[in-house]
Amino acid sequence: MERRLFGTDGIRGTANREPMTAETALALGMAAGRRFRRGEHRHRVVIGKDTRLSGYLLEPALTAGFIAAGMDVMLVGPMPTPAVAFLTRSLRADLGVMVSASHNPFADNGIKLFGPDGFKLSDEIEAEIEQLMAEGPEAGRAAPAELGRAQRLEDARGRYIESLKSAFPKGLSLQGIRLVVDCAHGAAYHLAADLFWELGAEVVKIGCQPNGLNINEGCGSTHPEALKTTVLERRADLGIALDGDADRIVLLDEHGQLVDGDQILALIAREWQAEGRLARPGIVATVMSNLGLERYLSRLGLGLERTRVGDRYVVEAMRAGGYNVGGEQSGHIVLTDLATTGDGLLAGLQVLAAMARAGRPLSEVARLFEPVPQRLRNVRTERRVDLAAPRLEALIGRERARLDGRGRVLVRASGTEPVIRVMVEAEDEQLLEDVLASVAGAIEEAARAG
């Protein structure tokens, strides 16, 4: 079955425009509730959200849909995506739902679904839910006496914080570490600073005053400029930047230099290899991860399995191949011994543990390889561009040949935005710029031609 609503990370779009409407959310709740009703027990679903204004639109619509399908709803309010995944499994819920558009601006929103095991749903199950939505609500309506109920889970925040603290090595402390945490005015605004403080750190917090309209605005993992200023002004040991739903992280060292997901993956792989914690001699990352990471891992005797972009595909490859460390350059870090999805706070704790053990600054602990120069250009398209068109495919092939094995060209349509992403990687920076301009220009021309 083909999926039409679901993309690489749930359903996403502009709030109060299809598919991000109350009507679609209601239909989705009824269909997903119907799909996940199993056995004779009281069925339950956990619903969380980030801080977008449109969460007030979508959360009650989803709630009504699930109640109509006969499922009890546990509302946790603003909460990170990984917290919803954790609570779904911890509470033995039948389904978890996160209302968030992650790193996108406030005007967008999205809906992500988790199965009872806490993992994101497969493409096949998402297609089944779409089919049930297309069939209409009649078959999924519960009898009057079987309607669900809704309640607030008051201790969700505390449960999640304690689960994170339990993953921090016993005997270690963050005493003496000053850090700045930027929560992007998003879902972790009310818990991230408390987590690090309870583990002993001195914490400065920014991006923790959400108003429904400022999520990810000039802050967070996609805009770390304000974090850099604060790290340098406060002479902090590091800065931690989360995105709107706190499932991704980037770091700044004490000099304000960026430490991205590739460097974090390298550090965790090295630490876990030394501790004998790697389930397999390698990790999983996407096609976007830097060639420098692959070379560094090779020197450690570790492999790198690449997947298409999207943390759900990283997790699928990890589960299929028996890996327990994976992630994305953008900062989704997945540690399946500890969590079922990317968790920015959990990844940050792994880095802080390495710093505490080594007694060295982040600039020394987390700069393990020199990245191969890499550039990304987003070509915005209002209409579909056929990347397999003969002329475009031939040009991309010629540009790849120019690199002669000394770099990579990756062209892909975004699953979350109306853009085509062009990534070029090469040790010769002039060649890199020439190839990037050629490929991006050809796509822009194809977009104009329609």
Active site residues: 102
3-state secondary structure of 427: coil
Q: Mark out the alpha helices in 259-414 (DSSP H runs).
A: 261-274, 291-299, 311-321, 344-358, 362-365, 390-403
Residue 244 CA, chain-centre distance (Å), reads 10
DSSP assignment string, 206-258? ES----SS-TTTT-STT-THHHHHHHHHTT-SEEEEE-TTSS-EEEE-TTS-E
Phi-psi region of 235 (alpha: psi -120 to 50; beta: other; left: phi over 0): left
449/380 Cα distance (integer angstroms): 14
Contact 97, 63 (CB under 8 A): no
188/344 Cα distance (integer angstroms): 10
The CA-based angle 182-185-186, given to 5 degrees, is 100
